[in-house]
Amino acid sequence: MYKYVPTFTDYIIQEQRNANHATGSFTNLMAQIENSAKIIASHVKASGLVDILGKTGETNTFGEEVQKLDEFTNKLLVDTLISSGEVYAVISEEMEQPVYAPKEHAGNYIVYFDPLDGSSNIDTNSPIGTIFSIYKKEGDTLLQPGKNQIAAGYIIYGSSVMFVYTFGHGVNGFTLDPAVGSFLLSHPNMQMPKKGKIYSINEAYYNRLDKGIQEYITAIKDQDGMRARFVGSLVADMHRTFIKGGVFLYPADKKQPEGKLRLMLEVNPFAFLAEQAGGKAISNLASPLDIIPTSIHQRASIVMGSSENVDEYLSYIK
Task: Find the helix or strand (DSSP H, E) in which 100 lies.
Answer: strand 99-100
Check binding of 237 to Mn ion (CB under 5 A).
Answer: no
71 near 56, Cβ under 8 Å? yes
Check binding of 126 to ligand AHG (CB under 6 A).
Answer: no
Check binding of 253 to ligand AHG (CB under 6 A).
Answer: no
Q: How far apart are CA 44 and CA 50, in angstroms?
A: 10
Give which of Mn ion, ligand AHG, none residue 98 binds (C-beta under 5 to 8 Å, depending on kind): none
Q: Which of residues 93 and 275 has its CB atom nearest to ligand AHG in the complex?
A: 93
Among 117, 134, 164, 291, binds ligand AHG (CB under 6 A): 117
Q: Write the binding mask 202 to 231 for ligand AHG: x where contact by CB under 6 A, - elsewhere.
A: x-----------------------------
Interface segment toward Mn ion; rule CB under 5 A; list 3-11, 112-120, 189-197, 273-281: 112-120
Q: How far apart are CA 24 and CA 50, in angstroms?
A: 38
Q: Which of residues 34 and 117 has its CB atom nearest to Mn ion in the complex?
A: 117
Interface segment toward ligand AHG; rule CB under 6 A; list 52-60, 112-120, 272-280, 306-314: 112-120
**Which of 228, 57, 200, 39 has its CA nearest to residue 116?**
39
3-state secondary structure 185-242: EEECCCCCCCCCCEEECCHHHHHHCCHHHHHHHHHHCCCCCCEECCCCCHHHHHHHHH
245 near 229, Cβ under 8 Å? no
Question: Which residues are near ligand AHG by CB under 6 A?
Answer: 93, 114, 117-120, 202, 232-234, 250, 260
